[in-house]
Amino acid sequence: MIATYGHGTENDFVLVFDPKDEQSITTAQTAAICNRESGIGADGLIRIIKRDEKWFMDYRNADGSLAEMCGNGIRVMARYLVERGHVPEGIFGINTRDGMKHLRVPMVGDISVNMGKVSDEEIAITAANNGHIWNGYNINVGNPHAVVFVDDIAQVGALDDAPIVRPKDTYPEGVNVEFVQITGDNEVTMRVFERGSGETRSCGTGTCAVALAASLHTKQRLPAHWIINPPGGRLEVSIDGHSNATLIGPAVLVKDVDISEFLLA
């Protein structure tokens, strides 16, 4: 089976075009495909399917677990649909486990996606790594995020294992953790540890969580606009007065890949 490898600010994915929803890919097969040592290597897998005549993003983390939404992944999926001629350029919707998301997709250039409401759960959390503990914000973007602010991003150290987040029972299904350094007026640098994937080069929902948390942290009123710099590139997030976020950034298809051998197990 031929799939496609692509990325959004180096947050990378394997895309399987399966509009009739005929190809079942197991948790173990997904993990094998995404394995960077013995597989194709990716932060997640996206099956592009149709449900009720609407495009649906069936997204899996690198370990094969299901995820509600992926802001970089949905842009890469949208790029695939337009570049491969399945949808004309312009505005269209893609359904996800977190509901319908609408995107503006030109033939070339950055893609914008309406990510929906970003909410502060108003529960104080802490995240610990590399001998440091930081206070932070519990932010919901359809999936859970713990956002903490650091004086220097170098303090975070290696993110080989999941940071320790407290209170422990706040995130029974795990959490994405963002470490953020404010570097200028409405501009930040971030690193992220994604549940089910480990440290990634970027995280779309994470940047939206960071934008709201940074607005709260700097005591800014909404609407707000932030430039977010994860290791993989540059993204922009606008949050309106009702806490609805729009994510703007690139999406690139790199190459087609054969995943047949990973579907035999």
Is 208 an annotated catalytic residue?
Answer: no
Cα distances (angstroms) measured from residue 133 to each of 104, 128, 163, 179: 39, 4, 10, 11
> Is 203 among the catalytic positions?
yes
Q: Are 187 and 180 in contact (CB under 8 A)?
A: no
Which is catalytic among the residues 3, 70, 210, 211? Answer: 70
Both tokens of 209, joined, read 């969580």
Q: Look at the alpha carbons of 37, 39, 40, 42 in this order and tell me if their dihedral is positive or negative.
A: negative
> Do residues 63 and 57 make contact, with C-beta atoms less than 8 angstroms apart?
no
* CB proximity list for 241: less than 8 A, separation 6 or greater: 222, 223
How far apart (Å, rounded) are the C-alpha atoms in residues 114 and 93?
10
Question: Rounded to an integer, what is the distance from CA 231 to the centroid of its chain?
Answer: 14
Q: Which of 48, 203, 212, 213 is catalytic?
A: 203
Distance CA 61, CA 179 (A): 20
Closest to 69 (Cα-Cα) out of 101, 32, 93 = 101
Per-position DSSP letters for 107-139, written without gaps between them:
SSS-EEEEEEE-EE----EEEEETTEEEEEEEE
Residues annotated as catalytic are 70, 203
